[in-house]
A and B are shown apart, each in its own frame.
Chain A
Amino acid sequence: MDKELDFAVEVEDLTVAYDAKPVLWDVDLLIPRGKILAIVGPNGAGKTTLIKAMLGLLKPVSGSVRFADGDIHSRSVKNSIGYVPQSGSVDWDFPSTVLDVVLMGCYGKLGWIRRPRKEDMELAKQTLTKVSMLDYANRQISQLSGGQQQRVFLARALAQEADIYFMDEPFKGVDAKTELAIVALLRELRAQGKTVVVVHHDLQTVAEYFDWVTLINLRVVASGPVEEVFNEENLQKAYKSKHALLKSVV
């Protein structure tokens, strides 16, 4: 592995369990700065768990997650992180407008009690423009389609103005046009030197969209630059499959 690379996150010996059942075993992982990284693996492989453990939302049984600026629980690290949860994780019938939800991205920098100011409002509108949702700013969130919900969550994460983004299946339920728009956005973030970690499902697009890939199935099967580790052998290991998982593209 290239020693010159600079790492944004270092995961060491991470084990996470729900009740007594481990869902992630002894994970070691380095996330390179300024790259777009995919976390890929079969259903139940622990992809979401890995992201949540890195974000400090789940308490690991053992192991550690280190960010360049320190521990996840420090305020400065929290403020340098953006998070796009799965859109199905919230109740979209909550009484709120699109702009309201995007403004939540600014809450971290505001801290306790302080209210959003005019600048935050401007920022939220800018990020809505980036995901082509400004026209929907005053729309009630229960009226959004699945793809629009994804874009609202993306805009909220952009409003965090983070250095490293964690996105849990941002392409789920979006149409082809929105998918391309999101990819363009990820590339724009990379061009600004930001790191993007994405839980991804579509094996056929991994090589096209991502620089790095981490294949997991309870343990890390392989992690590295796409051209080095994203091959049929590693995929079959991760998916425990004897069939070819990739079309001839790779």
Chain B
Amino acid sequence: MNSFIALFSDYTFQVVALGSALLGMISGVLGSFAVLRKQSLLGDGVSHAALPGVVMAFVLLGSKNTEVLLLGALVSGLMATLFILSIVKHTRIKFDSALALVMSVFFGLGLVLLTYVQKMPNSNQAGLNRFIFGQASTLLQRDLMLMLITGAVLLTLVLLFWKEFKLFTFDSDFAQSLGFSPVTLNLLLSAMIVLSIIIGLQTVGVILMSAMLITPAVAARQWTNKLWVMVTLSAFFGAISGVAGTAASSLIPRLPTGPAIVVCVSVIVIISVLFAPGRGVLHRMYQRRKNKMEYNLKGGAPDVTAN
């Protein structure tokens, strides 16, 4: 108990936990839209594709500032998205193949560049590989500010365009017939999803980041049939996993924070898939069993003429 109190009053822990919670919240909100638009995998592609951008930004600009590196990540993430979309548009290659193609090419390139840079004689490049699995303990207060500002902008946009995003996600043709340009909305929402991925790279890393985007949303969908509840719940699941993962990695020696956060959110999704009322696996099994027993008792199909 005492170690808990000591932990929560520790400054580094506070910064890292707050950062992870913010990240979980933001990716939870935008991940909901990614999941509902069936673009879960695009997030995975974007985050893997961010790696060469990080290294290139370091090589070209010679800076190790998080902002600079994340800018590189943003550029290569967007480039990858563009490649994927134009491959789908101009060839007969399907979306999933295009995604796998671009993602592995970019990630491979990133690894090659990273290895090359690490062999360079100056020691300045140390720590770049933190972007592969993330290293939450390197979060500084100024990184926190960056997340806070980006998060505030993203959440404001979601609130402002709530009605439009909902309409567009459900029925984009109808949205267009009403005069809401799906091109504009797609661009805006995709850019927002990419941005939410990028700000998580330092904490969780390019490999696990898509889990932060998708998992809280999938878990939240299990518990509700209302969009705003789903988004709120998803934000909550993300935030709570961020704090819990950070605490776990502080209390257990040599447990990395990013993967610990992902494990926490995975536990939530497993519980949700199994136990949620209505959509949960157990509830559905119970329902099927109950129906079967009722029919057996009545001896035949239920009375359909009643209504």
Residues of A within 8 A of B (CB): 52, 55-57, 75, 78-79, 81, 83, 85, 89-91, 94-97, 100-101, 104, 107-108, 110, 112-116, 140, 142, 156, 160
Contacts and interface: CB of A to CB of B under 8 A. Distances in A.
A96 B227 CA distance: 6
Given A113-B161, A116-B163, A94 B177 contact: no
Contacts of B160: 113
B95 interface: no
Interface residues of B, number: 27
Interface in B153-187: 160-164, 166-167, 169-171, 173-180
A154 B38 CA distance: 26
A91 B168 CA distance: 12
B174 A94 contact: no
A60 to B, nearest CB: 15
Given A95-B230, A97-B226, A107 B180 contact: yes
Interface of B: 36, 38, 160-164, 166-167, 169-171, 173-180, 221, 224-227, 229-230
B179 A78 contact: yes
Contact of B170 (A78, A83, A96, A115): A96
B238 to A, nearest CB: 17
A107 B171 contact: no
A150 to B, nearest CB: 14
Given A115-B163, A116-B163, A94 B178 contact: no
Nearest to A103: B163
A192 to B, nearest CB: 21
B171 A85 contact: yes
Given A57-B176, A83-B174, A85-B174, A94 B36 contact: yes
Contacts of A100: 227
A160 B162 CA distance: 19
A96 B224 CA distance: 10
Contacts of B173: 52, 57, 83, 85, 89
A95 B180 contact: no
Nearest to B161: A113
Interface of B is mostly: helix
A83 B178 CA distance: 9
A95 B225 contact: yes
Contact of A95 (B162, B164, B174, B226): B226
A104 B179 contact: no
Contacts of A90: 170-171
B177 A95 contact: no
Nearest to A89: B173
A140 B227 CA distance: 11
Nearest to B177: A83
Given A96-B170, A104-B171, A142 B176 contact: no
21 contacts: A56-B176, A83-B173, A83-B174, A89-B173, A91-B38, A91-B170, A94-B169, A95-B36, A95-B226, A95-B227, A95-B229, A96-B226, A97-B225, A104-B171, A112-B161, A112-B180, A113-B161, A113-B164, A115-B163, A140-B225, A160-B178
A212 B221 CA distance: 46
A104 B172 CA distance: 12
Contact of B221 (A95, A96, A104): A95
Nearest to B169: A94
Contacts of B179: 75, 78-79, 108
Interface centre among A79, A104, A140 (most CB of B within 10 A): A104
A89 B170 CA distance: 10
Contacts of A113: 160-161, 163-164
A116 B167 CA distance: 13
Query: Can you list the 9 inter-chain pairs with the closest CB atoms, starting with the nearest?
Result: A108-B178, A140-B225, A78-B179, A83-B177, A90-B171, A95-B227, A94-B170, A95-B225, A55-B177
Given A81-B177, A95-B221, 18 more contacts: A52-B173, A55-B177, A56-B177, A78-B179, A83-B173, A85-B171, A90-B171, A94-B36, A94-B170, A95-B225, A95-B227, A95-B229, A96-B225, A97-B226, A101-B170, A104-B170, A113-B160, A140-B225
A231 B164 CA distance: 45
B167 A104 contact: yes
B221 to A, nearest CB: 7
Of B171, B177, B226, chain A has the most CB atoms within 10 Å of the CB of B177
